[in-house]
Amino acid sequence: MSLAQFDDILAPLAALPRQTFSIEGVRQNWYVESDDIPASLSVRREAARGLAMEWLRRSEARRDRAILYLYGGGYVCGSMRSHRALTNALALAFDGTVVAIDYRLAPEHPFLAAVNDAVTAFREIVASGCAAGAIAVAGDSAGGGLAVSTALELRDLGQPLPGALWAISPWADMTNASASLDTLSDRDPIVFKESLVECASHAEGARSARPACLAGTCRLCGPAAASDPGRRA
């Protein structure tokens, strides 16, 4: 695809007026949710310590490797259902199991709740008989940043690490300090610096009005408080 073709795709989005950010607005309008799963995939749903998990695989796929997929949505919206088309496609193409979860969202559950849920899911996959090194942790946008944070949390806990990370266009810098957010703002009709700053503030929660990285407490930049109320045992 050429840059001109890409611009043609973005043009209708760019013509839309920028909407004022609100949690309710993004939760209602950002994603289209779906329960459709191809007949060629088996699905197993379970709750691990209160965490909803969904296991997708083809009948002939290997059982000894997996992808843990973490959806994007600025840590404030999204679900397994919002990314169903993507996880379906992964499970159809991957020779293994794709595991999706509904991690807890901010502002109701600020950091490190999402990280702890992802760690819980990773441990459940290992407990199912899949070696840690045979698991890839993947995600898009905030989910990509969460994939990195999950690996760092596992490292800091002295736990076995995933064999691979797949971060798709990750939101990995919650300081939102990159100059490109300003210089290229007219090129991105979807993600705006103002909304990222707002999402980071919600994700950080009551501990600070600043984004997690600026507060020196996120897994991307520094040690988290051991007493974090979002931590799962």
What's the pLDDT tens digit per position in 16-47?
677 677 888 889 888 889 999 999 999 999 99
Question: What are the residue ranges spanned by the domains of the chain?
Answer: 22-173
- Nearest partner of 114 among 175, 51, 172, 173, judged by Cα: 51
Q: 195 or 83: which carries more pLDDT confidence?
A: 83
Average pLDDT, the chain: 86
Q: Report pTM.
A: 0.83
> Which H or E run contains 135?
strand 135-140
pLDDT tens-digit profile of 181-229?
Answer: 888 887 777 778 888 999 999 998 744 433 344 334 444 444 433 334 3
Of 94-98, 174-178, 208-212, where does the model show the most confidence? 94-98
The domain 22-173 having CATH identifier 3.40.50.1820: the answer here is: yes
Tokens linked to 94: 């991957």
Please give the Cα distance from 152 to 155 (Å, whole number). 5
Please report the pLDDT score of residue 233 as a whole number.
Answer: 36
